[in-house]
Amino acid sequence: MARHLLAIDQGTTGSTVLVLDADGRVLGRATHDFAQHFPVPGQVEHDAEEIWASVLNALGQAYAKAGVDPLHCEGIGITNQRETTLLWERKTGAPVHRAIVWQDRRTAPRCRALAAEGKGPLVAERTGLVLDAYFSGTKLEWLLDHVPGARARAVDGELAFGTIDSFLVWRLSQGRAHVTDPSNAARTMLFDIHRLAWDDELLAMLRVPAAVLPEVRSSSEVYARTLGVPGLPDGIPIAGIAGDQQAALFGQTCFSVGDAKCTYGTGAFLLVNTGTDAPASRNGLLTTVAWKLGDTVHYALEGSSFVAGAAVQWLRDGLGIIARSSDVEPLARQVASSEGVIFVPALAGLGAPHWDPDARGTLFGMTRGTKAAHIARATLEGIALQVADLCHAMESDMGRPMARLRVDGGASENALLMQYQSDVLGLRIERPRHVETTALGAAYLAGLAVGVFPDLAAIEKAHGIDARFDPSMDEAERQVHLRRWADGVRRSRGALD
């Protein structure tokens, strides 16, 4: 009998399913993409039925590769794109509108109006977030206002709201559970992260009826069991939920205060475990729930750089100096240094800790001797230096230095980038055996709930390190790089002056 766990990683452009054995080894993996819908500029939507179909397709393909019987699945963990917002009928399970994706900016004017009314401090105090269209609350308000009859139906209990985790649990169980976990609830702008409850004042601010909300449960428990799912037997426990970045923090076994991870994808997302304290950031970071196990809640500080892997894509698609993203490392290795070339990859503005949407990508320090290799190397350095800004902000908020940084995501396989990251931070960088730690985190949470992993120590034992990068740059040289970068950020932020 091949005991195993199933992880569903529902992302922005596709759904990935992993089948893992009881030791955390990946037996089968499959990804199925789905369409992005752009009704008008600034709006991004997903068809929830296409998401569900992508999950089912990836599920079948993953099991075909794993060669194990779904009958022996011990539990299912779910991780998801966090702020994407969906409203569906309780009776039929049918969405009443496409999901509004986390990238969607249609409610930015509403957020500006709320800020003008002085609501920003309330949102920050209760939720740990900034008042922004990124989060779910104003998206839900928009749906209630713009879908005919939705608000009245929501008040009458006919409709259900959820982030994608809630929708997947609903579909997997044929509506037997309408739930979420605190890591997802914390991203709605409706949830008091200190009381761990939906906040009446915030609900009133956005005119959201409580009847539409999911029940908030812990991140690791049996919420429901599968029923009528193609390719799966009935009765499999659905037992773990966490938003994607929190799942990656858990998947990296960042269980102690001060443990930090950075996920290098299209952007870069850095989270540090702050334990049972929820510190308010003084440096432009977000305070969020990491996970809840039993009655214990762990919090995290979070910072994001909008452009990381996307900068390499720009070299490929915009400048045409590489044919494939994987070509950037060998090109950058053709030179020993960037020779003073600095690239600030603010191609979509600057995120934390600067929060400057008007900043622009800046490339400077070039001479007649500058080659494509110098620009490639400066791009990798710019990605790492953005993360260094986040790390320094977190260390300031926590009042203590980080001991190490764990990394994952596609760009973490770039050894040159990881070595430079270690150098400019003066920290050890650890990369795991499996860089898909988001899905691993969901599986670990499910496995903990159903007893595949008896405790956190067993999960740490299953988690393996593939590579370590230790700093080789002396302090004087590190400061030169940081000063040049700070100058570059100033130029980037003044690009439109």
Cα(453)–Cα(27) distance, integer angstroms? 17
pTM beyond cutoff 0.75:
yes
In a domain, 376, yes or no: no
Over residues 322-334, mean pLDDT: 93
In a domain, 303, yes or no: no
Q: What is the pLDDT of residues 447-468, one digit of tens each?
A: 999 999 999 988 888 777 889 9
In a domain, 271, yes or no: no
In a domain, 464, yes or no: no
User: For residue 467, what are the CA distances in angstroms to 381, 419, 437?
Assistant: 20, 11, 15
What's the CATH code of the domain at 80? 3.30.420.40
Q: What is the pLDDT of residues 157-171, one digit of tens each?
A: 999 999 999 999 999
In percent, the amount of the chain with pLDDT more than 70 equals 99
User: For residue 396, what are the CA distances in angstroms to 17, 145, 282, 390?
Assistant: 38, 42, 8, 10
Quickly state the pLDDT bin for 7 (edges 50, 70, 90). Answer: very high
Question: What is the domain extent for residue 105?
Answer: 4-245
How many CB atoms lie under 10 A from the CB of residue 129? 23
In a domain, 43, yes or no: yes
In a domain, 54, yes or no: yes
- Residue 133, pLDDT above cutoff 80: yes
Rg (CA), the chain: 22
Is 356:404 a contact under the CB 8 Å cutoff?
no
Domain tally, the chain: 1
Q: What is the pLDDT of residue 456?
A: 92
Over residues 202-209, mean pLDDT: 96
Q: What is the pLDDT of residues 406-452, one digit of tens each?
A: 999 888 899 999 999 999 999 999 998 877 788 999 999 999 999 99
In a domain, 158, yes or no: yes
In a domain, 322, yes or no: no
